[in-house]
Each structure stands twice: as C-alpha cells, then as structure tokens.
Amino acid sequence: MRGLVKLIAGAVMIGTAVVGCSSGPPVVGKADLESDITSRLETAGQKPQAVTCSSDLEGVVGTTTTCEVVLTDVNAIEPVVEVTNVEDTTVSYEMTPALSQAQLEKSVAGLVTDFSSCAWDRAGVIS
C-alpha cells in the first residue's frame, strides 16, 4: 500500500487546468478534473478503473475537493485535491493521497499484527 501511495503522490501531485471565461473565479468541472487525473495516472503507468470527483473545483487558493480513484477491484484511494494557484483562467492544484477509513483501519491492524509478532530482548530492542 505504501508503494502505491508513493506512486500516486508522484504521479499526480501537481496539475493545471485551463477553464473558460465566466463571471467569478474560474472553475474546473468534475469531468475535466476526472479526465486530468486519469490521464496523469495512465502516463505514470497506473491506469485507473475509474475516477470520480465529489464536486467541481472552484479556482480559489485553498479550495479542496475529493476524488475516488479506483485502481483495482480491491484497491482505491481518495486523494484530496487543493487549489494552489490561480492565474487568469489557469487553476493549479496539488493532490494529497488519502486512505478511506476502511483502508486505514486495515493498515493499522496489519501494523499491530506485525508489531506484536516481533521478539523483544531484555534491553527492549526489537529483533
């Protein structure tokens, strides 16, 4: 799982979308955001089965949305997408990989199991 999170972080850490003219701040539509994330993952060699974003991304620095990225039938992540810069109609953003509650619980349970199976010597050192 850690390797996958590193792959996702490296693959789609920074994105930029150009949007059309409108009144108010520019907006990256859900479909455009999903397409951009899919494209970046494909370029990194990890084609997702599906990418579904929860909402459009308003071009205001600090604004966030989440997207579900399904990589396999049993492996999905929910990265947080945050606007980092806006210049005219260009919205730049970063993605921070996140685990779902179920994935986090499974990961922690695995760590506890691994930790409890370690042998401790008299000095308290794990071997």
Higher per-residue confidence, 127 vs 80: 80
pLDDT at 21: 54
Task: Grade residue 5 by pLDDT with cuts at 50, 70 and 90.
Answer: very low
Domain ranges of the chain: 2-100
69-114, pLDDT tens digit by residue?
A: 998 888 888 889 999 999 988 899 998 887 667 767 777 776 766 6
pLDDT at 15: 56
- Spell out the residues 6+ positions from residue 45 whose beta carbon is closer than 8 angstroms to its own: none
| Average per-residue pLDDT for the chain | 77
8-46, pLDDT tens digit by residue?
A: 433 334 455 555 555 789 999 999 999 999 998 899 898
For the question of whether the overall pTM of this predicted structure is more than 0.85, the answer is no
